[in-house]
């Protein structure tokens, strides 16, 4: 765990008005606990699918507090830019797997810090404001964790209406290699719900991809249910010769979306 001892905060800006010489760092890895004996949160190192959301493992609070997420510029108070990259108000109670939205996408293997501040979080469009009083036990106020990118194959799509280009949008794809994005009609009686193949997207590369479009060969005339999958691109050909081959390109286990409904364009 990495802890940071910070003695003061400004209530109106997110900069830490302290010098690094005044901060005491206890360096280790793996997240940890911040707060006091009666009000605390637990955070762990984690891998992300949604790059604008981190997870607090658990929390126990006796009053309303603000969970504040800082980036690593917390260590460099003279650095220009914003320190606070996410915050969430929690009322009294016990929680697990708390999702905290970030104001930007995280970087791979980024160091982040979490603190508890008194009162509810308050934000406007320009400046994030957090309470001056930090919930702490002794001198330690913030705990460090690492947020890395998930490499587990993953596909997610949501209920939607076909867009003006007669396309369906796949919200999120994580691929650990070259892969085809394949659109199936949903069939409740078929294995994994994979009915006939409707169309496919030229192969995506390894990494995270958002809002990937798959065109329909003909317009929908009524709502229909679909499933999106990834197939490993076993034989990578030139772009001009790229062809999806269901017989040879292997379905990637786990890279199957939940069924989702698509409505025809109005």
Residue range 133-143, pLDDT digits in tens: 888 766 667 78
In this structure, of 29-38, 95-104, 193-202, the range with the lowest mean pLDDT score is 29-38
- Report the alpha-carbon distance of residue 12 to residue 30 in Å, rounded: 31
pLDDT at residue number 140: 62
Q: Which residue has the tokens 């999120």?
A: 172
- Map the chain to HEC letters: CEEEECCCCCCCCCCCCCCHHHCEEECCCCCEEEECCCCEEEECCEEECCCCEEEEEEEEECCCEEEEEEEHHHHCCCCCCCCEEEEEEECCEEEEEEEEEECCCCCCCEEEEEEEEECCCEECCCCEECCCCECCECCECEEEEEEEECCCCEEECCCEECCCCCEEEEEEEEECCCEEEEEEEECCCCHHHEEEEEEEEEEECCEEEEEEEEECCCCCCCCEEEEEEEEECCCCCCHHHCCCCCCCCCEEEEEECCCEEEECCC
pLDDT at residue number 77: 57
Is the predicted pLDDT of residue 14 greater than 80, yes or no? no
Residue range 86-95, pLDDT digits in tens: 999 999 999 9
Q: CATH number of the domain at 154-263, please? A: 2.60.40
């Amino acid at each position: 765990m990495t802890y940071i001892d910070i003695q003061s905060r400004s209530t109106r800006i997110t900069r830490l008005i302290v010098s690094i010489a005044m901060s005491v760092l206890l360096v280790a890895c793996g997240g940890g606990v911040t707060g006091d004996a009666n009000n605390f949160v637990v955070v762990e190192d984690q891998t992300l699918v949604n790059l604008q959301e981190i997870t607090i493992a658990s929390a126990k609070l006796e009053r309303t507090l603000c969970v504040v997420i800082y980036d690593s510029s917390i260590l460099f108070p003279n650095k220009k830019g914003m320190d606070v990259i996410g915050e969430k108000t929690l009322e009294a109670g016990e929680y697990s797997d708390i999702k905290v939205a970030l104001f930007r996408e995280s970087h791979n293997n980024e160091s982040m810090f979490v603190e508890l501040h008194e009162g509810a979080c308050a934000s406007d469009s320009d400046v994030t404001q957090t309470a001056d009083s930090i919930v702490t036990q002794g001198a330690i106020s913030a705990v460090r964790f690492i947020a890395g990118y998930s490499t587990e194959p993953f596909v997610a799509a949501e209920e939607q209406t076909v867009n003006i280009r007669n396309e369906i949008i796949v919200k999120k794809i994580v691929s650990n290699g070259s892969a085809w994005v394949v659109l199936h009609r949903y069939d409740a009686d078929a294995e994994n719900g994979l009915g006939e193949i409707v169309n496919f997207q030229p192969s995506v590369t390894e990494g995270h991809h958002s809002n990937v479009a798959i065109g329909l060969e003909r317009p929908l005339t009524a709502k229909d249910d679909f499933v999106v999958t990834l197939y490993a691109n076993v034989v990578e050909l030139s772009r001009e010769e790229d062809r999806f081959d269901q017989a040879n390109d292997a379905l990637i286990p786990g890279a199957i979306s939940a069924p989702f409904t698509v409505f025809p364009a109005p």
